[in-house]
Chains A and B, each alone.
Chain A
Amino acid sequence: MLELLMRALIGGIGVAAVAGPLGAFVVWRRMAYFGDTLAHSALLGVALGFLLDINLNFAIVVLCVGLALVLVALQKKHIIATDTLLGILAHSALSLGLVAVSFLDNVRIDLMAYLFGDLLAISQTDLYWIYGGGLLVMSLLVTFWRPLLALTVNEELAKVEGYPVEAIRLLLMLLVAVVIAVAMKIVGVLLITSLMIIPAATSRKLSQTPVQMASMAGVLGCLSVCGGLWASYHWDTPTGPSVVVCAALLFLIAYTLPIRKTA
């Protein structure tokens, strides 16, 4: 039991530590809906993974990254408004995933675990995926921090100053895709974006610089994972939702308590 808990804790912290800082970008660039779309489509990745008999984590990463690329391409064409496009993709991908899963008679899929996450079901292999993916995302985030931030603050200024704007935008979308694919195991398809957005939003109240906000978001995410696991252990509540509830509580505390900002 203890080993199970430890593994869940290590995995959860690994995910939250990356989801937080990247979540700051999701909040700044208003990409929440984009994240949701990728998350919803991850279930399709699970179904495809089973159908094609390939590693599930791999299938999810490929599908999320692929969809991110499709989205970038479609956005450029300006066929319809981006949020409409995202809405169409999000829900058709989720439905397609659910339909595909129903065809899998020979394998029993715990749908609830994929929709809402099952932190306690983390395997050793999952940990490798989490820390491998996490380290990759983290190192890219640190290496390209300035261009990513310049793009977020003002794309046109960044472009005139010679930043490769298109490439950086693509990089950010791919990073989000990887984090979502990896985080799916922990909090599930429906709750992933919350793990990115809520700690970042909480962190906004407590920070003066982008670096502060991003790192604090990681810390708050880790705290939420600890709190959620603890609650889950004590009251036998579902782990994924417990983590999210915990993050939401931290948000409420930060925004209701009179915390003085040092200007």
Chain B
Amino acid sequence: MSTRLAELQDIGIRFGERQLLSNINMTLHQGEIVTLIGPNGSGKSTLIRTLLGLQEPTTGKVVRHDHLRIGYMPQKLHIDPTLPLTVKHFLGLVRGVNKKDIRPTLNKVGIPHLENSQVHVLSGGETQRLLLARALLNRPNLLVLDEPVQGVDVSGQVELYNLIDVIRKELNCGVLMISHDLHLVMAQTDTVVCINQHVCCSGTPQHVKGHPAYQALFGIPGADSSLAIYAHNHNHVHDDSGEVVEEGHVHTASCQHHAH
């Protein structure tokens, strides 16, 4: 097993009468991408905030190993319009940043041309890349990304996920991210944790997709007729990368067969 970075031990969070999270256990490793999925209000963001130390857990504890350095990419960036701020200055705010690292990092996330732009005029996708750059400048071994593709069109989303994957391989860092759409992140994810106040199920994307708890929350893949998702009859099984797996078709709850 690779190096452990942080552990959530039996986390429970309560706001007044409302139990937001209970009995959450999770371990994050170097080099591993973990995706959190769950419906709105399921406590995904709260869980991430707990890991970051922005939210105190009511019960349980967060273990952050000594060598842990987190790069955090928040869901969105609101900067008061009265504050003039260029991309370069925004990135210069990272604690202990070496100014020389700013340009290469902007190159890495693909927005070197925006170095002197005001942060207020960036598009959704550019803002996400800027936030990713800021997270990277903290020299993290764990990237924590709260819905990294928010406000980005579908092709841009795929690009961003690929970029995150490239960065993960380059830095060999762990990644914990929140996503709404399992299908988009499947190829880049090692472990999926589906939560709704508690951990409903977790495992490889394939495993989670077929899990009854996942299907109860997100519906059976392809079964929702309001979304005309193309589905075809399976007579073979794909692995994560799309290769045909040479084994008999194992029937699980995930393989609902549909007519064309």
Q: Name A residues whose Cβ lies closer than 8 Å to a Cβ of B.
A: 27-30, 146-147, 149-150, 152-154, 156-163, 201, 204, 207-210, 212-213, 263
- Please tell me which one of the listed residues B52, B54, B83, B144 contacts residue A153 in the complex, with CB atoms under 8 A apart: B83
- Given contact pairs A153-B93, A161-B138, A210 touches B85 in the complex (Cβ within 8 A): yes
Contact in complex: A263, B118 (CB < 8 Å): yes
User: A146-B93, A149-B93, A209-B89 are contacts. A157–B84 as well, Cβ < 8 Å?
Assistant: no
Q: Report whether B89 and A210 are in contact in the complex, using a CB–CB cutoff of 8 Å.
A: yes
A residues less than 8 Å from B144 (CB atoms): 160
Does the CB pair B134–A157 fall under 8 Å?
yes
- A207 to chain B: which residues have CB within 8 Å? 84
Q: Scan B60-80; emit 1 where CB is below 8 A from any A CB, else 0.
A: 000000000010101001111
Interface status of B90 (Cβ within 8 A of chain A)? yes
* Chain B residues within 8 Å of A210, by CB: 83-85, 89
B-chain residues with CB within 8 Å of residue A157 when the two chains form the complex: 72, 74, 134
How far, in angstroms, from A213 to B86 measured CA to CA in the complex? 13
Contact check, A208 vs B118: say whether CB atoms are below 8 A apart: yes
Q: Which residues on the B side are within 8 Å of A150 (C-beta)?
A: 93-95
Q: List residues of chain B with CB within 8 A of the CB of A160.
A: 52-54, 70, 72, 138, 144
Instruction: Say what secondary structure dominates the interface of chain B.
Output: loop
Q: A153-B83, A154-B77, A208-B118 are in contact. Are A162 and B90 (CB under 8 A)?
A: no
For the complex, give the distance between the alpha carbons of A30 and B86 in Å: 20
Query: What distance in Å separates the Cβ of A112 from its nearest Cβ neighbour in chain B?
Result: 33
Contact (Cβ within 8 A) B83 A208 = no
A153-B85 in contact given A28-B80, A160-B72, A263-B118 (Cβ < 8 Å) = yes
Q: Are A208's CB and B84's CB within 8 A? A: yes
A154-B79, A159-B53, A201-B82 known; 8 new pairs, CB 8 Å cut-off, are A147-B95, A158-B95, A160-B138, A160-B144, A161-B72, A209-B89, A210-B83, A212-B84
A209 to B89, CA, bound (A): 8
Nearest A residue (CB) for B83: A28
Q: Does the CB pair B95–A161 fall under 8 Å?
A: yes
Q: 9 A-B residue contacts at CB 8 Å?
A: A28-B80, A156-B52, A156-B74, A157-B74, A160-B72, A161-B138, A208-B118, A209-B84, A209-B85
Count A-B pairs with CB separation below 8 Å.
Answer: 67
Which of A149, A156, A209 is B86 in contact with, Cβ under 8 Å? A209
List of A residues within 8 angstroms of B89 by Cβ: 209-210
Nearest-CB residue, chain A, relative to B117? A263
A163 to B94, CA, bound (A): 9
Closest residue of chain A to B137, judged by CB?
A: A161
Residue in A30, A153, A213 with the greatest tally of chain B CB atoms within 10 Å: A153
CB-CB under 8 A from B134, the residues of chain A are 157
CB distance from A54 to the nearest CB of B (A): 38
The answer, among B84, B90, B92, for a CB contact under 8 Å with A213, is: B84
- Complex Cα distance, B54 from A153, in Å, reads 16
Contact status B82-A27, CB under 8 Å: yes
* Chain B residues within an 8 Å CB radius of A30: 80
Q: Would you call B54 and A156 a contact (CB within 8 A)?
A: yes
CB distance from B117 to the nearest CB of A (A): 8
Contact between A152 and B83, CB atoms less than 8 A apart: yes
A230–B94 alpha-carbon span in the complex (Å): 45
Chain A: which residue is nearest B88 at the CB level?
A: A209
- Tell me whether A156 and B82 are in contact in the complex, defined as CB-CB below 8 angstroms, given that A150-B93, A161-B94, A263-B118 are known contacts: no
Across the two chains, which residue of chain B brings its CB closest to A163? B95
CB nearest neighbor in A for B72? A160
- Interchain CB contact under 8 A, A153 and B53: no
Chain A proximity of B146: nearest CB distance (Å) = 10
B90 close to A153 (CB less than 8 A): yes
B118 — which chain A residues lie within 8 A by C-beta?
Answer: 208, 263
Compute how far the CA of A152 lies from the CA of B82 in the bound complex, rounded to whole angstroms. Answer: 11
A263 to B92 Cα, complex, angstroms: 19
Nearest Cβ on chain A to B95's Cβ, whole angstroms: 4
| Closest CB in chain B relative to A199 CB, distance in Å | 13
Contact with A along B193-231 (1 / 0, CB 8 A): 000000000000000000000000000000000000000
Cα A159 to Cα B53 with chains together (Å): 8
Report the Cα distance A163→B89, complex, angstroms.
Answer: 17
Whose C-beta in chain B lies nearest to the C-beta of A30?
Answer: B80
Q: How far is the CB of A50 from chain B (nearest CB, A)?
A: 39
* A204 lies within 8 A of B82 (CB): yes
How distant is B248 from chain A, measured CB to nearest CB, in Å?
Answer: 48
A153 to B77, CA, bound (A): 9
The residue on A at minimum CB distance from B146 is A156
Measured CB to CB, the nearest residue on chain A to B131 is A157
- List A contacts of B54 (CB < 8 A): 156, 159-160
**Least CB separation from B81: chain A residue:** A204
Complex-state Cα separation, A204 to B85, whole angstroms: 11
